[in-house]
Structures are given as C-alpha cells and as structure tokens.
Structure 1
Amino acid sequence: MSNLPNTPSAPSPDACPNTWYAVAFSADLKPGKILPVTLAGQDLILWRTKDGIPHAHSAYCPHLGAHLGYGGAVRDDQLVCSFHKFTYNSEGICTKTSHGAPPHKGRLAPKPVIETNNLIFVWHDNSGAPPDWTPPIFDSSIYRAHSTWQQESTGHPLDNAENPIDWIHLPVTHNAPVPTLNKPLLFDGPNYVLDMSIKNFWYNFTAECILTVSGPGIVVAQLVIPQTRISALEIFSWTPTSGNQMTSRKVTYATFLGDGIPRIPIVVEKALAAIVGYGSVRNIRRDLKIFTTRRYPKHAHLTSGEEDLAACRRWEKQFFESRQPDPVLRDS
C-alpha cells in the first residue's frame, strides 16, 4: 500500500476535539427537572428556565462540591443545591444561601448550549475558550413528526468526521457502491459538505443526498429518494462521554413530497420516519462494530483514491487549536 504525498497525521488520539456535541434529545429535558450528563469526562447538568430555554452548567456546587444533578432542584428559574441551599441563577451566579451572604467568588460554571432539531448541543473546549461558530440549523418545518435512536459504544471522537468520506469502506462494509458526487467536496470552515447520489444506504434505493458534517460531532443528511418520493432529514451526533465511551444519537424526519401526493396523517409520518431512520441505523451499526474494536491510527498509510480522507485529516486540525480561555466557562 503506497503513502499519499503530504498525508497528514491526525491529532493525538487521546485529545478531544473542541466542538459542539449533542448531550441529550430535547424530550429528555423536562421543565423543572435537572438532567445529569457527561461530556468528554466532565460531569454537567442541564435544566430549563420557565421560558423553555435550556441551560448547561458544571455539575458540582462550588461551595462544597455537591452534585446538583442528584438532589438539586429548579425553583423560580434558579438552581438550588440540596446540601446547603446555595442558589444559582442561569448565569451561574450565587444569589443566596441558607445561612449567610452569597460568596463573591465561586460561580457555577455555565456552558454554551444550543437547542435545535430536537437535540441539545453543548460546547466543549479543552482550554475553556468560548465557541467561535454555531451548529447550522436545518429547516424541519415541512415535517410534523420524527423518530429518535440512541446507542452506547466505544470509539474515537474523530471516527464520525472521517467515516462519510471513507469511500473505500462503503462497498466492503455496506455493500454499497462508491457515491457519485454531484458537486466537488467542499470544506468550509468548521463544516464540510457532500452533494451526492448514494445507493443501497437507505435500503436498496438511490438517494439524492446533501451531507453536512459540522465539526467532528455532527452529521446531517438532507435526502430525497426519487423512486418513493420520500423526503427526509437526519441529524446524527457522535459524543464522547468518558474515556473511549461514545454515545450515538440520531433524529429522523420523513414525509412524502410531490405533486398530487396528499398530506399523510401524523401517525403515518412518524412511522415513515422510523422506517427511514432504521435504514441508516443498520449501516451505522456496522461501522460501530468496527469502531468498538479498532485502534484509531494517528498516522494513516493511505492509498490512491483516499485523497479526500487526507484532506479531512488536515481539516480536523482546527478543532485542536488552543484559543484564549473565558474565565466564566471554567469551573470555579
């Protein structure tokens, strides 16, 4: 196997990319409740204010370290620790205690959070720097129902970024021919975009698909299957939790579109979303089986036809660059 010229090495397999990660489905976060989550080895909590806006914070009370996700409460749009009743607003500032004035220091570190397409995303940065981009929001207004899927596995945070343009694995792992690109592969800042015709990934059909990879943690497929008149939108996330533990989450929307096609009932649309979603899940699971047992190679010995994969490795390096930290985002 021959090496490509200028084939870059990947960042350290032990590092976690600085990017947005989905940490929950929207439906997981109920109003008035606190949801504990783990992201890249950090224990966090999610909660909503009365206006429905989600918030994310470090899980541990800066007073004496109690985990607010276990015994803590949401009262009057503030977080209350069960240990000494220290109370924090949505910015993480202590507003009152049970026995004295709030401390001047000791902020419950907030984390940048965005909710879109029925997923809640939290920003992770190894140096504590704030986000310099946001995940794209995809219009799902034509859909009235969706399905979800989640699975725990092991792997590397960069698996998700490289897999969509690993053309050679498609015929071997998925029994699918290499896709036909309708436009050249486009790298654009934190995103790369594939406009392609892909066969045998969503069952035995050919799908016209625009695939957007936003950072190493998000893949979005906008697809139309002409033979069936199905239009679908899938948002897949790949989130590191602890060590090499990863969580896959996927939201799928689907409906029938076209002249003369009547609007289908919501219950049918939900069933269609589940069917389309399972089509890609079958293939995702084949990849997860390999990711679970493989060793991610920092230096990949690529061969002809893998130039796009080499370009992807160069693109990935931006997610490991150190930037100026924001003291507010650091744990107190």
Structure 2
Amino acid sequence: MLERFPMSIPFGWFFVAYSDELAVGDVRPVHYFGRDQVLFRTETGEAGMLDAYCPHLGAHMGHGGTVEGDRLRCPFHSWAFRPDGFCVDIPYARAIPPITKREPVARPYPVSEKNGVVWAWYHPEGVEPMFDVIEHAPFTEPGWAKPVRREWAFASNPQEIAENGVDFAHFEYVHKMEAVPEGSSSYDGHIRRSEAQGQRTVKLPDGTEKIIPSSVQTIQNGAGQKFTQLKGVVTLSLMVLATPVEADQVELRFCFTYPDMPEGSPEHQAVMAAIANTCGQSGVEGDIPIWNHKIHRRRPLLCDGDGPILRFRRYFEQFYVDGDTPRQMVAV
C-alpha cells in the first residue's frame, strides 16, 4: 500500500486550548500526538497537561478527575498529581512509593501560556523544550480587537499545511488569486521569516479602480506556531495553529485579530469580509479537500515555478527525531 505520509509527528510547541476557555478547576480529556491526555487548570491558575491514565491502576483522569488546590486528583483512588507529574498525595497510604519522590510518575507536558493560547510541548522522547513560545504583540497589547476564531479537523499533518505557504503556484489554480510574489525568506535555526510585497487592484463604490500596496509577513517558530501579518485593504494578524492528533490527523485553527474599530463600521465590515475570504473557498477551505486526500511525495517532480518547497522541507526536517526523519530531497 502507498504510504500517505513518511514522516512521524514533529516535536515543538502546539496549541491545546485557548486560555479563556480553560477556567480554574476545569478538567477535560484531550487527545493529541497520538496519545490521550488530561488538561486542567489548578486553583492557583496554572494550566497542566498529563498523560490521561493514572500510573496507579489506569483510570482516565480526564473523566471524573477533580482539581484540589495545586493538584489534580484521580477519580479512582484520589491519588493527587501536580502539573509537573509528581504524585504528592495518596490519602489512604501510610507511606507513598519512593519513586514518587524522585521523578514524575504521570507523564507531564511542559505548558506555556502566551498570546491567549495554552501551548503544550511535545517531544516523542520526552526531551525538555529546546526553544520558547514567541509572544506576538497584536495578541498581547491593547489597541487590537477581540480575536475571531475558526477551526477545522481533517486528515493531514503540520508539515503539509505549513508547506502550502511556499507553494506559490497553487494560489492561482486553487484560490484564483493574482500572481503571488515570492518575496524573501530567512532561516535561523527553528525560526523561519518571510516577507512579500505586492499590489492589489480594488474596485471602489463609484466604479473606479485603485491600486493598493499589500504585504504579507510571516514568522514560523517550530512546527506548531506561525504568525502572519497581512496588510492591504485591511490589516489582519493571524495565528495559524496546527496541532497533530495522530500522525495523519490534524486540528487546524485560525485566530485573527485586527486594529480595534467600531463594530458595524465600513472598516469593520471590510475586515470581516477579509476574514471570510481567508477562511472560505478562496482561502483555507479550498485547500482542505486537497490536504485531506493527497499524499506526501518524498521525491517530488518539481519545476522552476513551484517556489522554494525543497528549502522549506530542509527547514522542517529538524523537527523530527533522528531515525524518523523523511528523506525527501530531490534536485530540481
């Protein structure tokens, strides 16, 4: 059988919740990175994520687990775990097992909260975070509107989704867009930056046309964190949040913000139209049916108009553990 994706789940920081949707005391089951987890927020406000199954007798702590102070209690025998995975109380034990003093016994996922997102670090070998989550001013500073959120789930992975941004040829044929300038890209370890400048022709209400400068700036921070700033008719800041559920299943979220403005104003209507366009058939919903059914060609046959796909793949390969890294380079 033809293998759809030769790559495993990449490591990095990934979205697991929006901060304002995880209240103090919340306990919920989630499933990411091919594993079941329990996500919770302690009474001290700290978010935590552990492997779901209690190391004692295997109860799923996301179903019936409760928060008490700075810990999560298992619903089966009330063992208590901190967000760092250490067992700190067994209510009926005269002496808790010595291992609980030495190391975490419930697998913890390092968590960071920035930009209104709860990020969890995933590495298949349990390696501690190798870089930090980036803060992005439009999602942290005043003067920007309440975020607009959209989400989808389908059969793909973070690399396929991210690669779409450097596949310049598809913009015309999938999205019916004008030519997209390649612009410039730079790579610095786990960070990729790109910027493209162009022009758009806009028809005004009186029937005349106006040429408006436009730009797209992107920062990618590892496999799971990407910011895009779009300027033209309107200004949009977008977080692209692709979280692997399994090696071939992904949840994709778009989180938009824009300069604060009166709701219902002509400027606000233009922003909403731009968001609908970015999410709709002329945007990501035009890509999803293709992502949902395509395969990843390890040795693609490329031509000179395809964009820097191979350079991007070399960048993304660093987020796979050695031994699972796909070998997909080919000379153009």
TM-score, normalised to structure 2, is: 0.82
Name the counterpart of 2:189: 189
Q: What is the deviation of 1:307?
A: 5.3
1:117-136 paired onto structure 2 within 5 Å: 117-136=115-134
1:91–1:218 Cα change, 3 Å: closer
Name the counterpart of 1:233: 237
1:320–1:207 Cα change, 3 Å: same
Name the counterpart of 1:116: 114
Asked whether the equivalents of residues 28 and 62 of structure 2 are also in contact (C-alpha less than 8 Å), the reply is: yes
Q: What is the deviation of 1:232?
A: 1.9
For 2:181 and 2:90, the matched residues in 1 are separated by 62
Asked whether the equivalents of residues 167 and 307 of structure 2 are also in contact (C-alpha less than 8 Å), the reply is: no
Name the counterpart of 2:290: 290
* Secondary structure, counterpart of 1:158 in structure 2: helix
Asked whether the equivalents of residues 9 and 246 of structure 2 are also in contact (C-alpha less than 8 Å), the reply is: no
Name the counterpart of 2:150: 149
Name the counterpart of 2:89: 96
Name the counterpart of 1:244: 248
For 1:151 and 1:97, the matched residues in 2 are separated by 41
Asked whether the equivalents of residues 144 and 266 of structure 1 are also in contact (C-alpha less than 8 Å), the reply is: no
- Larger RCO of the pair (alpha carbons < 8 Å, separation 6+): 1
Give structure 1 stretches of 5+ with no counterpart.
1-10, 257-263, 324-332
2:21 corresponds to 1:28: yes
Q: What is the deviation of 1:281?
A: 0.8
Count of residue correspondences: 301
1:168–1:321 Cα change, 3 Å: same
Name the counterpart of 2:277: 279
Q: Which amino acid aligns with 2:76?
A: F
State the identity %: 24
2:41 corresponds to 1:48: yes
For 1:271 and 1:131, the matched residues in 2 are separated by 41
Asked whether the equivalents of residues 158 and 244 of structure 2 are also in contact (C-alpha less than 8 Å), the reply is: yes
Name the counterpart of 1:7: none
For 1:243 and 1:194, the matched residues in 2 are separated by 27
For 1:199 and 1:249, the matched residues in 2 are separated by 28
Q: Which amino acid aligns with 2:114?
A: T
For 1:211 and 1:30, the matched residues in 2 are separated by 31
2:221 corresponds to 1:214: yes
Q: Which amino acid aligns with 2:242?
A: W
TM-score, normalised to structure 1, is: 0.82
Q: What is the deviation of 1:273?
A: 6.0
Q: Which amino acid aligns with 2:178?
A: P
1:166–1:113 Cα change, 3 Å: same
RMSD: 2.7
Q: What is the deviation of 1:181?
A: 4.6
Asked whether the equivalents of residues 50 and 109 of structure 2 are also in contact (C-alpha less than 8 Å), the reply is: yes
1:273–1:147 Cα change, 3 Å: farther
Q: What is the deviation of 1:275?
A: 4.1
